Structure 1
Amino acid sequence: MKIDLSGKSALVTGSTGGIGFAIAKGLQEAGAEVVINGRTRDKVDAALARLGGGARGVAIDLGTAGGAAELIAAEPDFDIVVNNLGIFQPVDFFETDDAVWDRHWEVNVMSGVRLARAYLPGMAARGWGRMLFLGSESAFNIPVEMIHYGVSKTADVSLARGLAKRMAGTGVTVNSILPGPTLSEGVAEMLKADVTAGKTLEQAGVDFIKANRPTSIIGRPASVEEVANMAVYIASPLASATTGAALRVDGGVVDFIV
């Protein structure tokens, strides 16, 4: 099996690090012309340097309507859009105010809604396109420590399913990818106290899984590359019969078989 994305343009939002960067790297290695995105120019430039050339970068906050409009004006067409941008913040439900809910909704859900409205029509007109939403196993396995995050990810899965139906017959597929706990920079920061106490990051990750995601079958966090592998495949012509799917890269955390 050879994934060839030569001649395809791809946007990966929130891609200066973590899963987003790994997806951007994988798409570029498959031959796509990649545009990465982050909120600050310094982070975008650092990510471009890590990619080693051949990509472009836009420093825009896509968690706002104005930021989305700015990006769309600067980059009006893509063949592949990966809505990876997302935030998470562990806060007890009774301490989670409207501002936290609103910010998670704007960043995790509305950023993808706005880009879908802008880019799906062009994909349909060309008769080919791929739109991906980074959901989470938390879409099904709502984490009690951040219910607001789980709700936003459930919305992403629903959005992808609905858009797949809307784009039926156009040659455009829409899917969501559901990572489980993944050793991204954000998770590493969450585990910082354990690492400071003397554990390796990998061991801290394993202990977190045992304590908080005991249904995991692999018994460890995934790597960002493992999640990116799924995204690159789904973005390719080889995945033409997969649409409207919620594709789990969760290590078996979600304990049901459909």
Structure 2
Amino acid sequence: MGCVTVSFHKGRLGVRLARTPDDLAACQALRHACFFAARGVDADAYDALCRHVMIGGDDGLVGTCRVMVLPDGAALGASYTASAYDLTPLAGYGRPVIEVGRFCAAPGASADVLRLAWGALTGIVDAEGAGLLIGCSSFPGAVPERHAEALALLGKYHRGPAAQLPRVKAAQTLPLTGPVPDRRAALSGLPPLLRSYLNLGGWVGDHAVVDPVMDTVHVFTALSVDAVPAARARALRALAG
């Protein structure tokens, strides 16, 4: 991995990249606590290929995510996202791609955790010259009916370009279709990270994946760096120092 420095503060929270095995273990422990509501270690083979963002303060680590930097679309097969989605339509993408995964914030953590995560990602995007961010945005609970309106909203208003949509690969999938009787209620059902992707100009695929292991329903999410509104980009760069 290249040498990228991410280190800044906002109020009582600071952000940096994991540097030691103990740092990584802390990230994995927080992930397990957030995803499974129990003590343990959430780890997989992709961790060794990623940079791990740490957000914390006086109360210890309160947020984390991992970042995989890929040189171009042809390398997307190495990503975690590619284990659930056929990313062949993006194989011709010529700029570096950043995969964002395993984002989580401790229960009760402030909204600044997500904002700081985006600040850290902005620093990495700029350092790597990345043009696209991708990932899997998850709804808690592997029960599609629970998220029906929110998923239908995504399919109706936030589907990405047809030529770039990932193809079906996972065993359990469902199309993003159905009625959206109350758009405001459906929006409130979106996870905060996914909502922030969309607010920055991001888009989703045309189907969701049911993941019984993580107990989630997730959608492919992408954000073109060039689509981020200029004012938002300036604010994120200012946050990152």
TM-score with structure 1 length normalisation?
A: 0.31
- Would you tell me which structure has more helix in proportion to its own residues? 1
- Would you tell me which structure has more strand in proportion to its own residues? 2
